[in-house]
Amino acid sequence: MPFYRDHILPRLIDCSCSLPLVTRQREKIVPLATGRVLDVGAGSGLNLPLYDAARVTEVVGIEPDPTLRGLAQQRAQGRPFPIRLLPLRAEEDGLERQSFDTIVVTYALCSIQQIEAALANLRRLLKPNGRVLFCEHGAAPDANVRKWQDRLAPLWLSLAGGCHLNRDSVALLRSSGFAIDAFEMFYLRHTPRILGYHTIGTAHVS
């Protein structure tokens, strides 16, 4: 479905990811970023208005989808800090080693295809004293919810641009060599439980 993938899906992603309820989750984590920041899966640039201009020196966003990246370019206009938006995937080796103070990942770990390679690359890019800030939806702890996540995962994968309903972000980070500093896990209100289980937290290279 090339037309759906290239023209309709990016707009749906922008619309759903900019809902006020979702924005409030971003607001918990994005303003904590400091120094030179890598925004992974920058999408349509919804994090850009949330960075604290007094704390960041530059934001480098990586986003392979050209339509989403174009929307992000529009949101980058007039921001009081330098912004670069690059057509890279998280697993690609296109950035300098240990060059970022903060890596921000919001609603992106769910849709990265080569997730282990991507997380290994993020470890390579983060400075020794740097932090990862993450906000993700994914695998629920309740057996009945998880059962439906697993059942619907193949269909959702094709409809939502490769988004996995049932990924465990914390487990993936830990297995890839990150230590979790703090996190909270909860169901998002007014959201179907198969979509609404959230994890928000910080991590560093262990």
Q: Tell me, what's the pLDDT at 9? A: 87
- Give the integer Cα–Cα distance in Å for 14 and 158: 17
Look-up of token digits 């707009």: 11
Instruction: List Cα–Cα distances, 2 to 7, 52, 62, 65, 66, in angstroms.
Output: 8, 37, 22, 13, 14
pLDDT digits (tens, 9 = 90+) for 27-79: 999 999 999 999 999 999 999 999 999 999 999 999 999 999 999 999 999 99
The contacts found for 50-53 with CB under 8 angstroms, 24 or more apart, are: 50/26, 51/79, 51/81, 53/79, 53/80, 53/81
Q: Give pTM, 2 decimals.
A: 0.95
> What sign does the dihedral 7-105-74-31 (CA atoms) show?
positive
- CATH: 3.40.50.150, 3.40.630.30, 3.40.50.2300, 3.60.20.30. Which one for 2-205? 3.40.50.150
CA-wise closest residue to 100 among 38, 177, 176:
38
**94: which 2 tokens?**
């296109």
Q: Tell me, what's the pLDDT at 69? A: 96
CA-wise closest residue to 63 among 52, 47, 79:
47
Q: Tell me, what's the pLDDT at 1? A: 62
The segments of the chain whose pLDDT lies below 70 read 1
